[in-house]
Amino acid sequence: MINNASLALANQMRAMQQAAAGIPNVETATVTATDTPSFSDTLKTALDNTSAAGHHAGNMKKAFELGDPNVNIAQVMTAAQKSEVSFQSVVQVRNKLTSAYQEIFNMQV
């Protein structure tokens, strides 16, 4: 799935490649701030997706425990692992943001 951010990035890369090769840019498409989502929107989407994955894994586990014939152990384990990977990714982003904040805070002015 190609979203606006990847399309904008592809256009920027193409323009830079043409500029490096000395080819004039025929397309006059410009990238504006509205073409790319803000960092807070991206972070909110990631948190929402992580939360949804956790809820889905919990629901799958509950359905399996109640004996739902449409849910097997492989599906439950896959959902749990997807939830865990998503959560660990969010934790790593948080750690990097905290580290960057502390580094900026400790800079000499």
Q: Give pLDDT tens digits for 48-105.
A: 999 999 999 999 999 999 999 999 999 999 999 999 999 999 999 999 999 999 999 9
pLDDT at 24 over 80: no
Average pLDDT, integer, range 23-51: 73
pLDDT at position 19, please? 65
| Alpha helices, DSSP H, located in 1-109 | 4-20, 39-65, 73-105
pLDDT at position 22, please? 62
pLDDT at position 1, please? 46
Q: How far is CA 67 from CA 53, 59, 70, 91, 98, in A?
A: 21, 12, 9, 33, 43
Amino acid at 34: T
Average pLDDT, integer, range 27-56: 79
Token pair, residue 99, equals 């580290």
